[in-house]
Structure 1
Amino acid sequence: MLDNLHFIALLVTTTQLTMILIAVASIFLVFIIIAIVKMYRLKAENKKLMETNAFKDIDESYKDFTGGHLYGE
């Protein structure tokens, strides 16, 4: 009789299992939404940084001066 009571206490009803799965799925859904929002924010920041002068040529007036020199002669 005692073994039957322990077995019954370990049973989980379908409703309880459904509620647990819904709670876990909701938590993961929140994490996914947060990740998507962060991805779009980083994408926008990256686009803004790429449009600045930080990644363009530093000195466009530089000319190659080695053409006028005669090396090896």
Structure 2
Amino acid sequence: MESCPVDEHLAYKMEKRAVLAQRSAEETKPIPAIYDEEASAASADPLTSGHFPLFRRVRAAMYGHRAKRFPRLSEHRHDL
């Protein structure tokens, strides 16, 4: 049985997206700061610097994971 070749760049992007989402859910730092930390760490290695996901591609996932931590506010003040 042959195995499918793994696109290493795609696997790297998926791994980093998961790390960004997890950190967004766990930490209280601003999301752009979390992204900047991970991006600067990735840019230190020339093999990975060009394959880090763009912020606009992971922004929704990061904010979505953070939003899951907090209950939604009611629409009206009198419901509080």
Q: Same fold (TM over 0.5)?
A: no
Q: What is the TM-score normalised by the length of structure 2?
A: 0.27
Larger Rg: 1
RCO greater where, 1 or 2, for CA within 8 Å and sep 6 or more? 2
Larger helix percent: 1
Q: What is the TM-score normalised by the length of structure 1?
A: 0.29
